[in-house]
Structure 1
Amino acid sequence: MPREVRESRHRSVRYALLAVGWLSVALGVIGIFLPVMPTTPFLLLAAACFMRSSRRFYLWLVLHPKLGPWIRDYLAGEGIPLKAKVYSLVLMWSSIALSSYLVPHFWARTFMLTSAICVSIYILRQKTLTSPRGER
């Protein structure tokens, strides 16, 4: 199930990826407790960073009993649960709507709306996981 890890040959790149990976893990854990912080994107970013920097940390994250289930199905190509899709789209569009209302600059609104449309298309094009791992 875990993907092949190909560590970067450059030591400085590995250290930078490790730093970003651990920062992402920390933000992902905070997101578990704060409803406005996304958990899964940060854990996916951490997995991607660890995949290029440390096999040990990548396996730790993917096989972790509490953090691993947030990302395992997606990494295995099985899809995203419908509940997660709906939750992420509603939360994203709510925050974009509020931000667009508060930000007076047309270019900023355009950028936010364009980003939200692109992310929505990406999320909607992903396979929908019919039964999450815990319910199988």
Structure 2
Amino acid sequence: MKQTFRRSVFEKVLFVLAWLVLGLAAVGVVVPLLPTTPLVLLASALFARSSPRFDAWLRTTRLYKSYVVPFRETGGMTARKKLTMWGVTAATCAVSFLLVEFVPARVMLAAVVVGMGVALVTKIKTITPEEEARRRA
């Protein structure tokens, strides 16, 4: 009984986080400072763990089709896209870093920039622009 309750609470927390991340991704479509694709990927992963119904819904949205499907179809990102994504994130975090004097927040911002850089280099395959065009065609 306790295990089922814990799982239920955990799924609800993931579900709420998924909506928050998806909201940030939607804002990222308009505001160039937020990296939309990774946020939609994260929201999809959170929905997959918390609500298969909403994960299926998300996959039908224009947001998902515009940002995630091309990434999944090509199996990676061009070096330029990776650098742009990392640069925008680093710049955004740098501004926040300068505005916030709370040391733990600064540490977290630095960790996000470094972590994203490491993930982009080690976890996401780098493809050539020609590969991207060929796989999308």
TM-score by length of 1: 0.69
RMSD: 3.1
- The equivalent of 1:5 in structure 2 is none
| CA shift for structure 1 position 29 | 0.8
**Matched AA of 1:87:** T
Are residue 79 (structure 1) and residue 76 (structure 2) matched?
A: yes
Are residue 127 (structure 1) and residue 129 (structure 2) matched?
A: no
1:60 and 1:133 mapped to 2: Cα distance?
Answer: 28
2:28 to 10, 19, 31: 31
Gaps of 5+ in 2: none
Are residue 118 (structure 1) and residue 115 (structure 2) matched?
A: yes
1:18 to 15, 22, 27: 15
> Do the aligned partners of residues 132 and 86 (structure 1) sit closer, same or farther apart at CA in structure 2, a change above 3 Å counting?
farther
Equivalences for residues 43-58 of structure 1 within 5 A: 43-58=40-55
- Bigger helix share: 2
2:98 and 2:42 mapped to 1: Cα distance?
Answer: 29
Identity %: 26
Write out per-residue CA displacement over residues 37-90 of structure 1, whole angstroms, 9 at most, x where no aligned residue.
221232122111111112121122124233234123555781124443121122
Residues 81 and 132, structure 1, Cα contact 8 Å, conserved in 2: no
TM-score by length of 2: 0.69
3-state secondary structure, aligned to 2:59 = helix
Aligned positions, number: 128
